[in-house]
């Protein structure tokens, strides 16, 4: 196998004109694969480099905690080597055809605990206009799981306080109806009754949440509000408005809501997008089990 590998490296240098560093990188990856095939799988020649051997090698990389990006790079080098062998007539088949590239695991969404959410929502002082507006925005976001663009795009007529829902337009201009809880309803009603007119400063505007200059709230403006209120609530880790959206979904799952309903409320086109929250709740369940079960 070493002779065939050397032929491959010569091909990379002479015919493809790759740099010495690139060839060295290919060399390390191919050599690692050949060594594994020889030592662990009993391969004696390149004809023994089967799909089974390749899959076993990738499984070993995963077991040894190689990052998906590193494993994918190694597979690319090995794939190139095995295809070269087939093109040159050294082997008859390409064992890489059905082997997929390793995929990097998606990071789990960051969330707040229920206690942190409670502290954040209670931080703004509703006895002044800014505090009441900020609390109304935070309560609305946590109650509905809206995206920031959907929250700041809400108009007064989009909120039905009597029935308890908000209407928003999400990605792809798709409209959806999301229920809103009693606490958020009361806070929004108080904001509309006591403060919004002062923010509007006599101007006619349809937007629900306004800045101190009477303009529609912006993404940056609301992000600053969240950051300021979180810091004042003693939440030291990094927090963005999207963390409240993640917290909304996670806390619903933890309290028994079904995934399809959460998908609809979040406005996800596919339930696969929503299922990322099930990983978060599994961690929560494991922790509950560990603390509660006498033999955990």
Catalytic center residues: 147, 171, 242, 245, 268, 277
| Token duo for residue 56 | 């076993």
Phi, psi of 103 (to 5 degrees): -105, 135
Q: Burial of 254 by CB count in 10 Å (0-12 exposed, 13-18 middle, 19+ buried)?
A: middle
**Which candidate, 268, 232, 233, 229, places its Cα nearest to that of 248?**
268
| Token duo for residue 75 | 């597979």
- Other CB atoms closer than 10 Å to residue 59's CB: what's the count? 10
CA distance 252 to 264: 13
- Enter the DSSP assignment of 98: T
């Amino acid at each position: 196998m070493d002779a065939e590998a050397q032929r491959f490296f010569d091909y990379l240098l002479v015919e493809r004109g790759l740099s010495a560093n690139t060839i060295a990188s290919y060399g390390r990856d191919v050599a690692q694969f050949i060594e594994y095939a020889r030592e662990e799988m009993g391969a004696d020649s390149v004809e023994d480099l089967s799909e089974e051997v390749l899959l076993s090698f990738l499984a070993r990389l995963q077991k040894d905690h190689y990052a998906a990006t590193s494993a994918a790079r190694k597979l690319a080098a090995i794939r190139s080597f095995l295809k070269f062998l087939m093109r040159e007539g050294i082997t008859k088949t390409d064992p890489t055809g059905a082997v997929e590239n390793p995929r990097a695991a998606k990071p789990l969404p960051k969330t707040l605990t229920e206690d942190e959410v409670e502290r954040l929502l209670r931080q703004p002082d509703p006895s002044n206009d800014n505090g009441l507006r900020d609390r109304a925005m935070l309560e609305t976001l946590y109650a509905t799981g809206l995206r920031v663009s959907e929250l700041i795009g809400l108009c007064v007529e989009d909120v039905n306080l009597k029935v308890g829902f908000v209407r928003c337009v999400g990605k792809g201009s798709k409209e959806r109806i999301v229920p809103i809880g009693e606490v958020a309803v009361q806070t929004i009603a108080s904001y509309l009754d006591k403060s919004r007119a002062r923010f509007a400063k006599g101007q006619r505007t349809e937007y629900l949440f306004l800045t101190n200059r009477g303009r529609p709230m912006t993404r940056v403006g609301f992000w600053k509000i969240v950051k300021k209120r979180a810091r004042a609530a003693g939440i030291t880790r990094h927090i963005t408005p999207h963390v409240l959206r993640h917290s909304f979904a996670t806390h619903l799952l933890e309290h028994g809501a079904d995934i399809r309903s959460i998908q609809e409320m979040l406005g996800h086109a596919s339930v696969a997008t929503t299922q990322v929250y099930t990983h978060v709740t599994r961690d929560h369940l494991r922790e509950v089990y560990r603390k509660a079960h006498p033999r955990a």
